Structure 1
Amino acid sequence: MEPGAGPVAGRWGSAACVVTGASRGFGRSLARLLAPRLGEGSVLVLLARSAAPLAELAEELRGSGTGSGTGLRVECVAADLGCEEGLRRAVAVLREVLSAAPPGRLLLVNNAGSLGDISKSFLDLTDPDEINTYFAFNITSALCLTSTALQAFGKRPGSSRTVVNISSLCAVKPFKSWALYCSGKASRDMMFQVLALEEPDVRVLNYAPGPLDTDMQLLARTKTGDPEMRQYFQSLQENSQLIDCTVSAQKLVNLLEEDTFSSGAHVDFYDI
């Protein structure tokens, strides 16, 4: 069903939704699918590093008819989540917006992430600054944003809270030349499993969206240091096995609406 198609409009009622990495790719596609589902007085917070694409997306969502008729508020936060200043700015915005958000539903989608230098093997990774910078962006920011969002929204009678971690096959399977990415994704999966155990009233999902047709996949098939892995990623593109972001995002939306997954579970695109 296309975004904005009649029957889905506003079906989620009043909600506060946060999507990180929303300026392009999967995050952008997901935001377009979420907007028409948000009811009167809802707020959609879009986070990314680049301000211009965020502003363009916000303008699209406000003017497309998906949000303009329901009073949807779209907030843009341009911040580099890998640096302390950017993360603190994003945390401050979430605390302010979500504490004042209407009751109903909270959805946080931790989508922002990076590959790291996939030209390097494990033994090439000797620079602590490079490694710490990678994990600050890919793990620290997700933890801080999630804990802040859940605290700010709080436990409200009759309200639901859902946290989604955009995971990967790399969270459960090692890929040569991808030590940073695989360990980052595995760490995030476990981090959110802990959240599911500690907060049983919070619905937690680790969703692996499959091999998406994005700039990240282009890097995978051109920059991966290991020749065998590089050929594998090239074959996905050559054999038309890459997944359109909107197709995968729609599967995630379906999972959220059905709401039958085990909290903390890792669910892959191909499992559905």
Structure 2
Amino acid sequence: MESNVISHASGAVSNDFGRALCVITGASKGFGRCLAKQIAALLSPGSALVLVARSGDKLRELQTDLAASDAGKKGLVIRCVTADLAQKEAVEETMKAAKQTNHLDIDRLILINNAASLGDVSRFAVSFTDPTETSSYLAFNVSSALSLTASLMDAFPKRPGLRRYVVNVSSLAALKPIPSWVLYCTGKAARDMMFRVLAAEEPELRVLNYAPGPLDTDMHLQARTDSGDLAVQSSMRDSHTQGQVLTCEESGTKLLKLLLEDNFTSGGHLDFYDV
């Protein structure tokens, strides 16, 4: 991670996030797992990480890795929540873990809404005749992000000295229709607008829709293998073969740089290639 000494709007100068509470969803693998490791290195002693995912084993592996790293030696509090965010109980469990850090005198609250699924990309829009299937997808990919964000902002309200950040891990699919990706495009577009509204309603919040670019993850493998639209499948496969996909570390570095610099327009959509 490159060093960034930044003058924030508040006038403070910092090369890290100070004493912070950071909540990351979808943290067990891929981009979320990478972000957890990267951001841990930028937290001051006594900070807390709440890591949320459906895979408990992978979360515990990550927790062990972080505890053994330089970040762990700083006394970083790491809490894992194994849960499916499509369920109300999962949001409640995440909030319980976050509230356990209420005793910390934090400088920053950072929520990274990373959890998402591609959905069934083998089919086209006209095949989704069952509303239960669509509702289930949207519960995990859209509703849960709103519920968790609202709950966390309510539990940690604005106060002098606290800067609050909400990141929505977005996609080009929020802006561009991609054949056979109707669920994914719909979910990403809905999330972008949801967080644009949040930014308009809460001007004190720093809200960012960040599209990390094409990442070399399990989701990219699914896209280039299962996409029903053969042109999309071929394009995804070619981008991977030709080395045009990004590592999670590359994109994560750019996201954290954006947060440290804190110069983005709140509620805006920024792609990896835009900055």
What range is the shorter-chain TM-score in?
Answer: over 0.9
Alignment of 1:1-272 (within 5 A): 1=1, 11-68=16-73, 70-94=74-98, 96-97=99-100, 99-272=102-275
SS of corresponding position for 1:263: coil
How many angstroms apart in 1 are the aligned matches of 2:254 and 2:15? 18
SS of corresponding position for 2:62: helix
Deviation at 1:153, TM superposition (A): 1.2
How many angstroms apart in 2 are the aligned matches of 1:202 and 1:98? 20
How many angstroms apart in 2 are the aligned matches of 1:46 and 1:89? 11
How many angstroms apart in 1 are the aligned matches of 2:159 and 2:165? 13
SS of corresponding position for 1:37: coil
User: Aligned-pair RMSD on alpha carbons?
Assistant: 1.8
Deviation at 1:89, TM superposition (A): 2.5
Scaled by the length of structure 2, what TM-score is found? 0.93
Query: Which residue pairs with 2:11 in the alignment?
Result: none
* Alpha carbons 1:98, 1:149 under 8 Å: kept: no
SS of corresponding position for 1:196: helix
Percent of paired sites with the same residue? 51
Structure 1, unpaired ranges of 5+: none
Task: Give the counterpart letter for 1:53 in structure 2.
Answer: K
Scaled by the length of structure 1, what TM-score is found? 0.94
- String of CA shifts for 1:192-220, please: whole Å, max 9, x gaps: 00010011000000000000000000000
Deviation at 1:10, TM superposition (A): 8.1
Query: Which residue pairs with 2:10 in the alignment?
Result: none
SS of corresponding position for 1:216: helix
- String of CA shifts for 1:34-60, please: whole Å, max 9, x gaps: 001111211111000011111111111
Task: Give the counterpart letter for 2:33 in structure 1.
Answer: R
Distance 1:170 1:98, change over 3 A: farther
* Alpha carbons 1:40, 1:71 under 8 Å: kept: yes
